[in-house]
Structure 1
Amino acid sequence: MEKLGREMVVRCAGLPLAIIVIGGLLATKETLDEWDIVHRNIKSHLDRGREQGQQSIVHEVLALSYHELPYQLKPCFLYLSHFLEDFDIPAKKLVRLWVVEGFVSPKYELEGDEMLEDFAERCLVELINRCMVQVGITGSSGRIKSCRLHDLMRDLCLSKAKQENFLHIVSPWSRNEKAHSSTVDVGQVVQGCPRLHKLHIEGQINKLPDYQEFPPYLTKLTLWGFRLEKDPMPVLEKLPNLRVLKGWGTFIGKQMEWIVEAGAMPSLFCLEISDCNKMVTAPHGLKFVSMLQELEIRWMPRAFKHRLEEGGEDLCIVQHVPSIIFLN
């Protein structure tokens, strides 16, 4: 084993990230035969990458580490392509999202009384042990609080996500173009992706497209930096498969009515309201969204938060929600 290990390190041409990832991969192999298979795979990958320079050598090693992942870890890894470069990813939120997205399900073998979130956390630890994900912050008990991707690992993640049709990135508009503020263009983009499941729209847009223009299979919607003056809920409540809704600096009006009709938003599991500085009361219709399990409040006015706390005027609106998180 030592001889094979030394040969593999030599083939990595002294590149630290390649050596670290190879080490993480070998740590999952217990027999000499398994090490020999990895050695032969590395040889073929690195010979191909060496023709194109050092960065290609690293890319080939990272690609091999991805191909060696167990099938249940691959979608968990590809999901990290959604996060921005150098972003510290909250571990607790990540494992919950994996569960919500269905990447972790009861069909996988759970240990004893283990919950799905516990299994998802084990998946994260496995990716870290394989040196594919880096630890960001740990708590006093040693538990992982946040994680992140190395720049080159993120490049691989994006490449594989696009290659396997896990993710589709619409080319961003130029800052000099005015198209980004046009609701017509936004509507045309989403209409062109009828099987889209996740959508992130960013820009100073003051009106949402009509609900008929949103893809029927949409499960996750993030609206970032909008400047909506009218309540967006008459549109959003008509998206029947929506499970995750996030709004960052989206609503600049004072009152989001959220008048929910019977049976509307039957799938909504997670709602995040962030940085809506003029919004002082919680949407009244929230009390009718019976499937809501997580409500996250970020950077909202103090009065808004006080109304949702114990004894607050709006507590009755959200008392059916098991998890309410306030973040500044």
Structure 2
Amino acid sequence: MVKHCAGLPLAIAVLGGILATKNNLLNEWRKISDNVKSYLKRGKNQGPEDVLALSYDDLPPYLRPCFLYLSHFLKYYEVHVDRLIQLWVAEGIVSSKQEERDGGEIAEDVAESYLMELVERCMIQVRERDVATLKVKTIQMHDLMRDLCLSKAKQENFVFIVDRPNASSLSMIRKVRRVSVRKFFSIQCIKSPNIRSLLFFNQFFPDEALEKSLPLEVLNYVKEHYDDCCNPLFWILMILARSIRRHKIQGICRYMFNNFKLLRVLSYEIITRRTRDLFGGWKLPSGIGNLVHLRFLSLRNFEFQRSKLPSSLGNLRCLQTLDLRVDDRIHVPNVIWRMEQLRHLYLPLRCKSRTKLKLGTLRKLLTLVNFKTKNCYLKDLINMTNLRELGINFPFNIENFNEKELGENPPIIGSKYLHSLSIFTYEGLNIFTFFSIDVIKRSCSKIDPRHLAHLLSNCTSICKLSITKVISELPEYHYFSSHLTYIRLICCVFEEYPMPTLEKLPNLRILQFERSFGGKEMFCSAQGFPKLESLILAELYKLEEWKLDEGAMPSLQRLEITRCLRLKMLPEGLRFITTLKELKIESMPKAFKDRLEKGGEDFYKVEHVPSIIFQNILR
């Protein structure tokens, strides 16, 4: 059979994927061999492309729409699995009606199993896995497999792809149910009232389209005088340009909201963000409330001209996914509580101070991101008994907190399924830029350690914890879930490094310290970190000495040290860690590197390590 693959690795892998799905190996493999030969005889080219086509024909009926759905996405596009699964469920490709009350699989779990079948058949490629759970995080398609997907999607009229601005054939869009927009076009060309999904990978009305609507002299004048705030002519022309753009966008939205009443999916994802929006953002019309059948709504990266969402959003009672992650500070009306079918809710990074949301009715919620006690009610979390992922955006405060005894305080989290918790603060600072410890201390508000301890004591099942900039000390280790496998601490300001707490966690596999500050010394005791496999120490600017007892980190496989400029040397105890397979030293002084090379003072500590990588060594 391999000879029919013409030496193409993808075709061989796909053929292997087909064979791997068969139970009775000998008989089934013989049938596949015969089918391959007969199938190829029908084709004209009889090349490896026919083997790929056979892989599609071999798919069970429930997997075919899952595969064809990938035709929505652009070439080389890394598809986030969470988002893909949400789209499958919203479109009914994987039905939420399959769920059972008594411990049955939820639709997202079924969808994930479908995705893994496509992976095992080698029809999609895994690009990234979650470091904590090892589940697939992003996927991509091989060029040839993507060509097959596009061809089959076109044959079955599965999706119409707008990939050119001059689309004269768009007047033919009458029966299509799905449209994927890669280039700007006149949406009024879509004449189908039965359209079910619209995915935009470009702006509704980009600046390029506006530039064609205005005289070249006007555009050039606006661009040349953009920083001239006192020029009255500039402001007149700018207001004119914004007015034209706003009028065009309002027309697009009115047409969508009035004509696509059966729409289930409306997704807006800009692939490349501009550094600044030259002609300003726009207002979301209240007509959005007409789309009462909507299951999936993503407004991520919208650039709003007005900082208020319409209250008509409350009409969208069927919504399962709502993504409001925008950079602007906006007001969200208190209508989300009406969307009782919501499963995934992504709130804005920053809300207006008057925003106060009741979320206690969202009992089906699986994902909640950017939750703030300032804009939401903490008590509502107890009703979300199915919650799996929670992202808390500072501030986080517990009202009526009993300072004497943590155990006397009412529980915060009502879900026993919560596996991922992140706590961070968004205060306009770029955390990926180097700041001195004084700047970080001045800029960061802190979460009360007692509140953090009480929160963590409620999260008995989490395996993944990420904290950014909001703590000065960690609670005692017994407040942490014993299931924790991954911890990431970013820009935290500790008085001392919290190794004595963390090293007691029995199942911790991955630990990342990034841009966090503590004392000058860091110490890891014997038998500490029994299952730690990966340790990253990045930009710990105060760290001068690291001590590691013999017997510590007995399972460590990968160690990365980046820009810890005051660290003089690696610890002596490192030579006892025989499991270490990779050591990466990046952006460290040359003197540090010289000590680790063959003939250097510290080479004996790492000579047993198979792979030692030096990158961007500083002079």
What is the TM-score of this pair, normalised by structure 1?
Answer: 0.76
Amino acid aligned to 2:195: L
Q: Which residue of 2 aligns with 1:236?
A: 256
- Aligned-pair distance for 1:45? 3.3
Which residue is equivalent to 1:269? 295
Q: Corresponding residue for 1:91?
A: 81
Offset, 1:172? 2.7
- Is the Cα contact below 8 Å between 1:287 and 1:317 reproduced in 2? no
* Pairing partner for 2:305 from 270, 279, 282: 279
The residue matched to 2:144 in structure 1 has which SS? helix
Structure 1 position 278, deviation (Å): 4.7
Alpha-carbon spacing, 1:16–1:103, altered in 2? closer, same or farther (3 Å): same
In the TM superposition, residue 81 of structure 1 has moved relative to its aligned partner by 1.0
User: Which of 285, 290, 294 matches 1:258?
Assistant: 285
Q: Verify the 8 A CA contact 2:330 2:351 in the aligned structure 1.
A: no
The Cα of 1:242 is off from its aligned counterpart by 1.5
Q: Distance in 2 between matches of 1:106 and 1:276?
A: 29
Asked if 1:12 is matched to 2:38, the reply is no
Aligned partners of 1:77, 1:208: CA distance in 2, in Å? 26
Does the CA contact (< 8 Å) of 1:77 and 1:157 recur in 2?
yes
Question: For residue 26 of structure 1, what is the amino acid of its counterpart?
Answer: L
Aligned to 1:296: 323
1:199 aligns to 2:220 (yes or no) = no
Q: 1:67 to 1:204 in 2, by over 3 A?
A: closer
Shift in alpha-carbon separation, 1:271–1:108, aligned structure 2, 3 A: closer
- Give distance in 1, aligned partners of 2:154 and 2:62: 18
C-alpha change, 1:302 and 1:109, in structure 2 (3 Å) is closer
Deviations 1:72-127 (A, max 9, x none): 10111111111111111110111111111111226879895101111111000001
Q: Is the 8 A contact 1:222 1:247 kept in 2?
A: yes
**Contact 2:72–2:180 (CA under 8 A) maintained in structure 1:** no
Q: How does 1:1-328 map to 2 (within 5 A)?
A: 8-31=1-24, 32-47=26-41, 52=45, 57-105=47-95, 113-140=104-131, 141-169=133-161, 172-173=164-165, 179=166, 189=170, 192-203=172-183, 209=188, 214-223=191-200, 224-227=202-205, 228-230=245-247, 231=250, 233-238=253-258, 239-248=260-269, 254=281, 256=283, 258-260=285-287, 264-291=290-317, 292-298=319-325, 300-304=326-330, 308=348, 312-313=352-353, 315-316=355-356
Distance 1:189 1:163, change over 3 A: closer
CA distance in 1, matches of 2:283, 2:292: 19
Q: For each residue in 1:267-315, what CA deviation from the matched residue of structure 2 results, as whole angstroms up to 9, or x when unmatched?
A: 12222224443535142235423323322245x3342499945874464
Q: Check whether the contact 1:66–1:74 (CA below 8 A) recurs between aligned residues.
A: yes
Q: CA deviation at 1:38?
A: 0.1
Shift of 1:198: 1.9
Q: How much has 1:203 moved relative to structure 2?
A: 4.7
The 1:202/1:142 distance shift into structure 2, 3 A limit, reads: closer
Normalization by structure 2: what TM-score?
0.43
CA change 1:137–1:214 in 2 (3 A) is same
Aligned letter for 2:116?
V
The number of equivalent residue pairs is 300
Segments of 5+ residues of structure 1 without an aligned counterpart are 1-7, 174-178
- Name the SS for the 2:286 alignment partner: coil
Judged with a 3 Å threshold, the aligned counterparts in structure 2 of structure 1 residues 257 and 16 are, in CA distance, closer, same or farther, namely: closer
Letter in 1 for 2:151: S
Q: 1:155 Cα deviation (Å)?
A: 0.7
Q: Which moved more, 1:80-89 or 1:252-261?
A: 252-261
Structure exhibiting the larger radius of gyration computed from Cα positions = 2
CA distance in 2 between counterparts of 1:201 and 1:13 reads: 35
Q: Which amino acid aligns with 2:89?
A: V
**Change over 3 Å in CA distance of 1:171–1:259 after alignment to 2:** closer
- 2:120 is matched by which residue type in structure 1? N
Residue number in structure 2 paired with 1:5: none
Conserved? CA contact 2:162–2:181, under 8 Å: no
Q: Distance in 2 between matches of 1:305 and 1:135?
A: 38
CA pair 30-201 structure 1, distance change in 2 beyond 3 A? closer
Distance 1:34 1:254, change over 3 A: closer
Q: Percent identity?
A: 35
1:28, distance to aligned residue in structure 2 (A): 0.8
Contact 1:260 1:288 in 2 (8 A): no
Quick check: 2:127–2:138 contact (8 Å CA) kept in 1? yes
Superposed CA deviations along residues 47-83 of structure 1, whole A, max 9, x for unmatched, are 566x73xxx5211111111111111101111111111
1:95–1:316 Cα change, 3 Å: same
The change in CA–CA distance for 1:107 and 1:59 in structure 2 (over 3 A counts) is farther
Partner AA of 1:221 in structure 2 = L
Change in CA separation of 1:308 and 1:13 when aligned onto 2, cut-off 3 Å = closer
Distance in 2 (CA, whole Å) between partners of 1:58 and 1:226 is: 39
Q: Which runs of 5+ in 2 are unaligned?
A: 206-244, 333-346, 371-390, 392-429, 431-619
SS at match of 2:180: strand
State how far apart, in whole Å, the 2-side matches of 1:82 and 1:142 are: 26
Q: Secondary structure, in 3 states, of the residue corresponding to 1:246?
A: strand
For 1:3, the equivalent position in structure 2 comes to: none
- CA separation of 1:37 and 1:271: change in aligned 2, threshold 3 A: same
Residue in 2 that maps onto 1:4: none
Shift of 1:164: 2.0
Deviations 1:180-203 (A, max 9, x none): 7xxxx7xx835x322222223455
C-alpha RMSD of the superposition: 3.7
Measure the CA separation in 2 of the matches of 1:277 and 1:106: 32
Alpha-carbon distance between aligned partners in 2 of 1:208 and 1:168, rounded to the nearest angstrom: 13
CA distance in 1, matches of 2:163, 2:253: 28
